[in-house]
Structure 1
Amino acid sequence: MNKASLINRRFRDGTYKNFTLKLVVLNALVYLLTAYIYPRSAYYLAMIPSFVLGGYVWQPFTYMFVHGGFNHLLFNMLSLFIFGSMVEKRIGSKEFLLFYLLAGLFSGIVSFISYYLAGTNVILVGASGAIYAVLLMFAVFYPYSVIFVFGFIPVRAPILVILYAIIELSSQVFGRGGNVAHLTHLSGLVFAYLYCRIRMRINPIEVFKRTL
Structure 2
Amino acid sequence: MAKCDECGREENMPYQCRHCGGTYCGDHRLPENHSCPGLENWDDPGGVFDSGFDDTVDGSGGGGWGSSSGSSGGVLSKVGIDTGPGGLMAYFRGNMTYLFLGIIWVVFLLEHVVLLTLGRDAFRTLFVISPTHPEYVWTWVTSIFSHQPLSFFHIAGNSIIIYFFGRIVEQYVGSRDFALLFLGSGILAGLGQIAIQAYQGNPAGALGASGAALAIMAVLTVLNPNLKVYLYFLLPVPIWVITIGYAALSALGMVGGLGGGIAHAAHAVGLVIGFVYGQRVKDKISAPGQLQFGGGGGGMRRGPGGPGGPGGRF
Q: Mark yes or no: TM-score above 0.5.
A: yes
What TM bracket, shorter-length normalisation? 0.7 to 0.9
1:130 matched to which residue of 2? 212
Q: Deviations over 1:138-169 (max 9, x none)?
A: 11223221111122221101122112111221
Q: Rg larger in 1 or in 2?
A: 2
Q: Deviations over 1:63-109 (max 9, x none)?
A: 11110122211111111111001100111111100111100011111
CA distance in 2, matches of 1:153, 1:45: 35
Report deviation, 1:14: 5.6
CA distance in 2, matches of 1:66, 1:72: 10
CA distance in 2, matches of 1:81, 1:183: 23
TM-align CA RMSD: 2.3
1:110 matched to which residue of 2? 192
CA distance in 2, matches of 1:193, 1:141: 10
CA distance in 2, matches of 1:59, 1:143: 33
TM-score w.r.t. the length of structure 2 is 0.57
Q: How does 1:35-114 map to 2 (within 5 A)?
A: 35=112, 37-39=113-115, 40=119, 41-43=122-124, 44-52=126-134, 55-68=135-148, 69-114=151-196
Indicate which of 182, 185, 196 corresponds to 2:267. 185
Indicate which of 8, 29, 36 corresponds to 2:16. 8
2:69 matched to which residue of 1? none
Q: Deviations over 1:28-58 (max 9, x none)?
A: 01000002x2124431221121122xx4133
Deviates more, 1:10-19 or 1:97-106: 10-19
2:62 matched to which residue of 1? none
CA distance in 1, matches of 2:249, 2:191: 22
2:227 matched to which residue of 1? 145
Overall identity of the aligned pairs, in %: 27
TM-score w.r.t. the length of structure 1 is 0.83
1:23 equivalenced with 2:100 (yes/no): yes
Report deviation, 1:192: 1.3
- Aligned-partner residue type, residue 63 of structure 1: S
Runs (5+) with no aligned partner, structure 2: 6-14, 22-48, 52-92, 284-314
CA distance in 1, matches of 2:50, 2:133: 42
CA distance in 1, matches of 2:199, 2:17: 43
Q: Does the aligned pair in 2 maintain the 1:168–1:185 contact within 8 Å? A: yes
Report deviation, 1:114: 1.4
Higher helix share: 1
